[in-house]
Structure 1
Amino acid sequence: MEIKKILEINELLDIYGDLLTIKQRQVMNLYYEEDLSLGEISEELNVSRQAVYDTVKKSEQLLYSYEKSLGVRNTALKSQNFKEKLIAYLISFEDKYSNSLTQDELIDIKKITEFCKESLI
């Protein structure tokens, strides 16, 4: 499975996981976070491999549906992208104008830059 999809599903699970049933969350956790195979999950939960597969596919569809309707992940990604651009701009501004800014102005720019960096974590 491609890493991009695994990361995306894990992010969606973090955001919308509580909207899934307990069984769906359990299967998705075992499949995406614990990296167990469908067969391993079916043995652990004492259900058929097909039941695990169906649960994974249905849960994925639900997660994508929630994101399409609510857009929480997309909004967070846009916000993160904006913050990263703002940090780059502030650093560039500081470098370019450091000789013409007062010490207080430089301190303020550094504080804003650090605040933005911390909010990315």
Structure 2
Amino acid sequence: MEEFVEISLLYDFYGSFLTDKQREAIEYYYNLNYSLSEIGEKMGITRQGVRDQLIRAKELLHSFDEKLGLVDKYQRQQTLLQDSVKGLDEVMARMDDENAKGSLMQVRKQLTRLMEEA
């Protein structure tokens, strides 16, 4: 997984466990795409200080995920939901009974809503 996507996902799950400075550095760097120098100016620290904050924050995010495994669980659930929706679509394409199709469409909508809410 690309680093920016990975860190953003980890941050979504575990960002509240970071210090304010670490959250700020992650937010600027990964979500707003600021350079280390720009972040340093905003935070009132050196470029090296920003780098240190980012490294420590990434280590903590990975550590939390190793212990809790929420990102992997989320990704498995999303894959399962997507596969379920795809399977329903395939079944509905082969059905002639409109009542049964309507019931399956309701299940599909519920699964889709679950994916969007997660």
**Shared fold by TM > 0.5?**
yes
> Who is 1:81 aligned against?
79
> Who is 1:58 aligned against?
56
Q: 1:78-117 deviations in whole A, cap 9, x for unaligned?
A: 0000001101111111112x12x3x332211010011111
Runs of at least 5 residues in structure 1 that lack an aligned partner in the other structure: none
Query: Is 1:115 aligned with 2:113?
Result: no
> Who is 1:35 aligned against?
33
Shift of 1:46: 1.6
TM-score normalized with structure 1 length: 0.90
Runs of at least 5 residues in structure 2 that lack an aligned partner in the other structure: none
User: What is the identity, as a one-letter code, of the residue corresponding to 1:108?
Assistant: S
> Who is 1:104 aligned against?
99
The partner residue of 1:91 within 89, 92, 95 is 89
Report how many residues are paired: 116
Shift of 1:51: 0.9
Matches of 1:65 and 1:110, distance apart in 2: 41
Matches of 1:43 and 1:105, distance apart in 2: 61
Q: CA RMSD for the aligned pairs?
A: 1.3
Matches of 2:18 and 2:105, distance apart in 1: 43
- Say which one has the larger Rg: 1
Corresponding residue SS for 1:23: helix
